Amino acid sequence: MGIGSIIFLIGALLFILIAAIYAIIQKDLIHAVIASSLISLALSLVFYILQAPDVALTEAAIGIALSTIIFIITIRNTKRYENE
Amino acid sequence: MKKLIVITLLLILGFYLISTFSSTPFGAEKVSGVKDFYLKQSPETLKVSNVVTAIVVSFRGFDTLGEVTVLFLASTALGSILYRRRTKHSGLNPQREAVISSSLVRTGAKVLFPMIILLGAYVFVHGHLTPGGGFQGGAIIATGFLLILISYRKFFINHNVLTWVEAIAGTTFVLIGIGGLIYATQNNFLENFLPEGTLNKLMSGGVVSIIYIAVGFKVGAEITGILDTLLTIKEAGLDPDEN
């Protein structure tokens, strides 16, 4: 693994960390779900860098699109904003 | 007292974890044996260049049949729970058609939908050559149908077609397994009984590629059915006389 991909990997992991913290503290649940789908986007890049392209495909299809839409359907059926 | 029990349980768990992992030096090769068999056998006898596919479909094919069955049961359970509300509001739902998505989304969906379907079909047809396979390809196809479902509100998915696709794909999987039981040289369930072909060609791998194509159709149809059921139930939940 070259130095460039290690730097990319660290950047992607920091992005995952920031997006996860944002998803936890955000009161608007739609924004939190979008942040958690961004986690999946960065995670699929991490899987690709770590030479697991089939896991990256699964993560991209299921983590970004399908689980996000199921969360959004649930939120639209309940409440959008989290109370204190 | 409760804290004491928790601390004791955590200590026991930690003891077992430490004693398991401390017996292996860091970075040393712990597992050996079966992985060399897989890495050697899948290109040579099965003619499958993707070793992950060879393990999932051929060496551990019965487990994959179980996974497909679990997915089928989950889809069927969801459909049967939401069946009554779905039939009441399916098809021509005025509330659903009243909300039109923007023309940018609709045009983009029209352009992207065939490409997504093509990518998914490519992923599961080439499952024995390139990374990916039936589950990934099916999930990608379901993503394409999701795009068209949320951009065109009048798009109607016939659940009878989905059920038939699922049924034919699942039956193909089981029949190929039974065919291995009858026609293969070693008479095992899911044993290869077709000619292997040459390595790295599309027509290779014997039954592996056919099984993965069936799994791709099945997973795509099931996830599309789940998404359509959930998206239809959303409008039913908004109905005032329903709650």
The answer as to whether B243 is a domain residue is no
- Return the minimum-mean-pLDDT range out of A19-23, B22-26, B153-157, B206-210: B22-26
Are the beta carbons of A65 and B131 separated by less than 8 Å?
Answer: no
Contacts A50 to B, Cβ<8 Å: none
Task: Give the chain B residue nearest A78 (alpha carbons).
Answer: B237
Strand partners, A81: A28
Confidence of residue B167 (pLDDT cuts 50, 70, 90): very high
**pLDDT tens digits for range A6-57:** 899 999 999 999 999 999 999 999 999 999 999 999 999 999 988 899 899 9
Residues 6+ apart with CB under 8 A from B209: B125, B127, B128, B202, B203
**Cβ atoms of B23 and B173 closer than 8 Å:** no
Confidence of residue B234 (pLDDT cuts 50, 70, 90): low
Cβ of A70 under 8 Å from any chain B Cβ?
A: yes
Contacts A57 to B, Cβ<8 Å: 123, 131-132, 136, 140
**pLDDT tens digits for range B61-72:** 899 999 999 999
Please count the structural domains in chain B.
1
Contacts A68 to B, Cβ<8 Å: none
The answer as to whether B109 is a domain residue is yes
User: Distance (Å, rounded) from C-alpha B164 to C-alpha B173?
Assistant: 14
Are the beta carbons of A66 and B150 separated by less than 8 Å?
Answer: no
**pLDDT tens digits for range B98-147:** 567 888 999 999 999 999 999 999 999 998 898 888 899 999 999 999 99
At residue B67, the pLDDT reads: 92
The answer as to whether B108 is a domain residue is yes
- Return the minimum-mean-pLDDT range out of A33-42, A56-65, B183-192: B183-192
Partner residue opposite B234 with nearest CB, options A65, A66, A76:
A76
Confidence of residue B241 (pLDDT cuts 50, 70, 90): very low
Nearest CA distance, A56 vs chain B (angstrom): 9
Please give the distance of CA B176 from its chain centroid, rounded to a whole number. Answer: 18
Share of chain B above pLDDT 70, in %: 86
- Which segments within chain B are labelled E, that is strand? none
Nearest CA distance, B186 vs chain A (angstrom): 31
Partner residue opposite B143 with nearest CB, options A66, A73, A76:
A66
Are the beta carbons of A62 and B139 separated by less than 8 Å?
Answer: yes
Asked whether residue B87 carries a pLDDT value surpassing 60, the answer given is no
Nearest 5°: the CA angle B79, B85, B86 is 55
- Regarding an ipTM greater than 0.90, the answer is no
**What separation in angstroms does the CA of A35 have from each of A10, A18, A58?**
18, 9, 18
At residue B101, the pLDDT reads: 80
Asked whether residue B162 carries a pLDDT value surpassing 70, the answer given is yes
DSSP state letters, A31-84 = HHHHHHHHHHHHHHHHHHHTT-HHHHHHIIIIIIIIHHHHHHHHHHHS-SB---
| B134 φψ region: left (φ > 0), alpha (ψ -120 to 50), beta (else) | alpha
Contacts A58 to B, Cβ<8 Å: 135-136, 139
What is the pTM (predicted TM-score) of this model?
0.82
**What separation in angstroms does the CA of B178 have from each of B52, B58, B63, B164, B182?**
23, 14, 15, 21, 6
Are the beta carbons of B146 and A76 separated by less than 8 Å?
Answer: no
At residue B11, the pLDDT reads: 96
The answer as to whether B149 is a domain residue is yes
Confidence of residue B174 (pLDDT cuts 50, 70, 90): very high
Of the candidates A28, A48, A39, A25, the residue with the CA atom closest to the CA atom of residue A68: A39
At residue A83, the pLDDT reads: 78
**Cβ atoms of B134 and B208 closer than 8 Å:** no
Partner residue opposite B223 with nearest CB, options A66, A76, A77:
A66
At residue B35, the pLDDT reads: 81
Cβ of A73 under 8 Å from any chain B Cβ?
A: yes
**Cβ atoms of B142 and A66 closer than 8 Å:** yes
Task: Give the chain A residue nearest B243 (alpha carbons).
Answer: A77
- Mean confidence (pLDDT) of chain B: 84
* Domain ranges, residue B159: 2-238
Nearest CA distance, A76 vs chain B (angstrom): 8
Helix, strand and coil in chain B, % to nearest 5? 70, 0, 30
The residue with greater pLDDT, B102 or B13, is: B13
Of the candidates B165, B136, B151, B154, the residue with the CA atom closest to the CA atom of residue B225: B165
User: Distance (Å, rounded) from C-alpha A19 to C-alpha A10?
Assistant: 14
Task: Give the chain B residue nearest A60 (alpha carbons).
Answer: B140
Tokens 């009858």, located at residue = B182
Of the candidates A33, A61, A68, A31, the residue with the CA atom closest to the CA atom of residue A47: A61
**pLDDT tens digits for range B40-80:** 888 888 888 888 888 888 888 899 999 999 999 998 888 88
